[in-house]
Structure 1
Amino acid sequence: MSLTSHVYTEKDVGDFFDQTTQTYLTFWDSEGVLHTGYFSGDDDEDYRAAAERTSDIMAAEAGIGETSHVLDVGCGCGNFLIHLADRYGCRGEGLDLSAERVAFARKLAGDRPGIAFRHGSATRMPYEDGSFTHVVSQDALFLVPDKPRSHAEVNRVLRPGGIFAFSDFLQPREDIGERARKHVYDRVRWGGGYSLVGYQRALEDAGFEILLARNLEDHIRQTYRVLGKTARERAETTPDAAARDWMLAFSESCGEIQAAIDRGEFGWGVFVARRR
């Protein structure tokens, strides 16, 4: 694993998402959806359908069903866990560093039975050993500063033979340029991460058997192409100056993110592993 120029703390990450949650909900998506999509092709621009497809692919690869007890680490606004509970009938909990996002997730879940959300750290999970059949995550674990510790915690709260299924952002190469550092890493308080192969080694070191490791670079490129285009279009019809500036800045970052992907400075992968 390699780091960029700045090492962020869990407090840095939690504070950033606390401070930006309401802005994001107001300017972008009122239900808090912003996960990488799995697109059907280069001409597919239906972001919400692609984001839902990612969730369904991960659920299928993990074997989640009515008897599953699922922990969503870095649950954000709760969309993934709520989707799993609604579509597959599982029960579960969501855990996130951002108190603001946890509060939103609780409101979004309403009175759905069998799911709950907690404010807490992936490196100090408030659960007993062997509590869950599955641990899942979408595009969140890259933000954990102490990644080996979070992997150990996932292993601990899983039952023997339990499944760890997640998508995450990758740092394919050691050297990161200033543009990528600004628009990809520092923008979300990310200190640095693993390559696809490096991630597999880290999981094996934590006691997992790798079942699936897939590079999905094309899908993350398409995600940010679609999001950037959508942000520009919304900015053109938005009367609020602050909202317009936020959308245009986000659109600019989406373009820089695509360039970083092309330079091998940013990537995306999906992993499924089993606790030995």
Structure 2
Amino acid sequence: MSTTSQFTERDVSEFFDRTTQTYLSFWDSEGVLHTGYFADEADTDYPAAADRTSDILAADAGIDATSRVLDVGCGCGNFLLRLAERTGCRGEGLDLSIERIRFAESRRAERAPTADITFRHGSATALPYADGSFSHVVSQDALFLVPEKPRSHAEMFRVLAPGGVLTISDFLQPRAEIGAAARRHVYDRVRWNGGYSLDGYADALTAAGFVDVDARSLDAHIRQTYRVLGHTARERAAGTADEAARTWILGFADSCDEIQAAIDRGEFGWGMVIARKPA
């Protein structure tokens, strides 16, 4: 079994700053980066599944036009923009990657120029907001990258108003022992040190002060996500004349295969957690 790497916030931010434009150029110009919630095993519509994840999180959180929402690890901004468009909420998005924040701001100017939405560069371990600033804190597939996870939990608890709701989807480390292949192709690939099992996630949020913690596994959906993305990548590579683009896309397809194998070995998972700050 391989040892755990020790990536820092700087490692994470530099990785995503360096790779964002490649991803946008070769794969998805809209910057959709989240895991999909699929209708069933026959469902292969990844964009619709990714939107469904966002909608389920929003519905479970109870976000509406009165909500003030913080999206921690907002990436390219699609989740928060969708929330604003569908509910009329106000919100802030924060991400460690300045390149993704710049892209999110450009998307906001195009999609929702009048929405009360702002994107900011910053760390989940030192949120630049006053205590009790938000009715909701949300995150999609981002908090796993935070090296100092308890600090991020404490910060999210702090900026929530009393009675506020935390609703997240996140990648999981279901067991402590991770093999060399999963370490190389799943964890180190995105500068991820490691994370929680589903029960461990619930325990960590409880330790941070959250109550009514509800954690559920979404492993079937993450496997379907990477099965669909791997198949799509190989189809796209076959029709791509540009050699650099084709090489990148085929590399992504190979990563999708390795991720599915890690899921099957119980070394990688996905879950959704909902919790509340006491009133």
4+ residue segments displaced more than 3 Å: none
**Structure 2 unaligned regions, length at least 5:** none
Residues 211 and 272 in structure 1, CA contact (< 8 A), matched pair in contact too: yes
TM (normalized to structure 1)? 0.98
Match for residue 95 of structure 2? 96
Which digits, 9 at most, give the CA deviation of each residue in 1:222-276, with x for residues without a partner?
0000000111111101111111111101100100100100100000000100012
Query: Aligned with 1:67: secondary structure?
Result: coil
Residue type matched to 2:13 in 1? G
Query: Which position in structure 1 is the counterpart of 2:250?
Result: 248
CA contact (8 A) 2:202 2:214 kept: no
CA distance in 1, matches of 2:72, 2:94: 5
Taking the aligned partners of 1:113 and 1:33, their CA distance within structure 2 comes to 20
Query: For residues 216 and 4 of structure 1, what CA distance do their matches in structure 2 show?
Result: 26
Q: Deviations over 1:163-183 (max 9, x none)?
A: 000000000001111110111
> Aligned pair in 2 of structure 1 residues 4, 41: CA closer, same or farther (>3 Å)?
farther
Alignment match, 1:170: 172
Shift of 1:211: 3.7
In the TM superposition, residue 103 of structure 1 has moved relative to its aligned partner by 0.3
SS in 2 for 1:221: helix
Query: Helix, strand or coil: the match of 1:66?
Result: coil
Corresponding pairs, count: 274
Q: Following TM superposition, by how much is the alpha carbon of 1:34 offset from its aligned partner in structure 2, in angstroms?
A: 1.6
- After TM superposition, give the deviation of residue 4 of structure 1 in Å: 5.0
Going from structure 1 to structure 2, the CA distance change for 1:4 and 1:79 (only over 3 Å counts) comes to farther
Residue identity opposite 1:258 in structure 2:
Q
Partner of 2:18: 19
Note the residue ranges of structure 1 that are not aligned, 5 or more in a row: none
1:210: Cα distance to partner? 3.3
Q: 2-side partners of 1:109 and 1:210: how far apart? A: 34
CA offsets 1:62-101 (integer angstroms, 9 cap, x no match): 0000000000000000000000000111010000000000
What SS does structure 2 have at the residue aligned with 1:127?
A: coil
Quick one: percent identity of the two aligned structures? 69
* 8 Å CA contact retained: 1:4, 1:192: no
Partners of 1:82 and 1:11 in 2: how far apart? 26
Counterpart in the other structure of 1:7? 6
Aligned pair in 2 of structure 1 residues 201, 232: CA closer, same or farther (>3 Å)? same
TM-score, structure 2 normalization: 0.97
Quick check: 2:206–2:213 contact (8 Å CA) kept in 1?
no
Shift in alpha-carbon separation, 1:258–1:11, aligned structure 2, 3 A: same
Contact conserved, 2:84 with 2:115, CA < 8 A, in 1? no
Distance 2:163 2:7 in 1: 33
Q: Distance in 2 between matches of 1:18 and 1:126?
A: 21
Alignment of 1:226-237 (within 5 A): 226-237=228-239
Determine the C-alpha separation between the residues in 1 that align with 2:247 and 2:211. 46
Query: Matches of 1:167 and 1:9 in 2, distance apart?
Result: 22
Partners of 2:86 and 2:61 in 1: how far apart? 14
- Partner Cα separation in structure 2 for residue 206 and residue 77 of structure 1: 28
